[in-house]
Homo-oligomer: A and B are copies of this chain.
Amino acid sequence: MFLVLRKWGIAAVALLFAALSQFAPVHAQGDPLPAWNEGKAKQAILDFVGKVTREGGAEFVPPERRIATFDNDGTLWAEQPVYFQLQFAFDEVKRLAAAKPELKGREPYRSVLARDLKGLTANGNKGLMQLMAATHSGMTTDAFATLVRNWFDTARHPTKQRRYDELVYQPQLELLRYLRANGFKTFIVSGGGVEFMRVFAEKAYGVPPEQVVGSSGVVKFRDGPDGKLDLFKEPKIEFIDDGPGKPAGINRFIGRRPILAFGNSDGDLQMLQYAAAGEGARLALIVHHTDAEREWAYDRKSAIGKLDKALDEGAAKGWVIVDMKADWKTIFPEAR
């Protein structure tokens, strides 16, 4: 053995350490989920990962089938007082109107500037569609990503006073890492816009763009005003990745049924049903927002992130209901 190593030389030793380091999290003696309090939820996660990765065990799942899907809003990061992407749209309207004052009298600008949400939604979804068209179309995909990046760098949450991409949940960051260290491929499956999420998901969650599934608008590859071919965002909805759209989106983008799914609202119910109904070991989890002090407390009657049917079905089917107040030692990561 020693001779073999001598022959390989120093480069091989360096490679050895680099290569072995990737196995470290799996074999680490420490707690992989320090921001989770000891309890049923944490134990259910540890037990599940233990049994699906135990080679030769009755519930072993080969790595290529270790697919985990996470909702984003309210599951991986906060969603109050309004979905962060909606706040981005409001802020964009203000920025656009400041640059072009003649817009101020027109919808959706008038209602947003007057903080008149009732006016905005007076005609059902029409106002919201106008808002999305005004802020999420008419530019190249690259230009849109730059707008989102700039917004993250300048906007601050109104009550938490932090960057929006810092309002991610520390326990979930640990869970994502723990799953990946155990051979899982982690996906986001969210009602949020796919091109909005892709801007921050890789840095915030370690989830690359190709593992983000979301709602999308039509994008066309065509000549731009400068005659250069590029991808342009059109003011037309293509796909809503919510409710029954989630299993359809998972099938379309991933092509495999997840063995673990994590959500927080009735919009995640079908994703949870789909994951839970597969053969073999399955884990369905729900974040229940119960912590009015450190985060927010809301469920059955909330306009945002309503959790009603899924809470009942989860309780009936033995899904893991994560009680934020009791189960999470830490909510948000330390400020950078």
Contacts and interface: CB of A to CB of B under 8 A. Distances in A.
Nearest to A218: B248
Given A194-B252, A253-B253, A274-B221, A20 B15 contact: yes
A198 interface: yes
Interface string A206-235: 001111100010111110000011110000
Contact of A252 (B64, B219, B228, B251): B219
A151 B252 CA distance: 22
A248 B229 contact: no
B15 A1 contact: no
B19 A216 contact: no
A256 interface: yes
Contact of A220 (B211, B222, B248): B248
Contacts of A228: 277
Contact of A195 (B198, B210, B255): B255
Kindly report how many copies of this chain are found in the complex they form together. Answer: 2
Given A194-B252, A210-B185, A244 B216 contact: no
Contact of A194 (B194, B208, B255): B255
A196 to B, nearest CB: 11
Contacts of A247: 221, 231
A255 B19 contact: no
B13 A1 contact: yes
Contacts of A85: none
Interface string A3-16: 00100000011011
A200 to B, nearest CB: 12
Contact of A219 (B5, B216, B238, B251): B251
A252 B141 CA distance: 10
Contact of A255 (B209, B218, B273): B209
Contacts of A252: 194, 216, 219, 238
A270 interface: yes
Given A15-B20, A212-B255, 14 more contacts: A1-B5, A2-B5, A12-B20, A15-B23, A19-B20, A19-B23, A141-B251, A194-B252, A219-B248, A220-B248, A221-B248, A221-B270, A231-B247, A253-B253
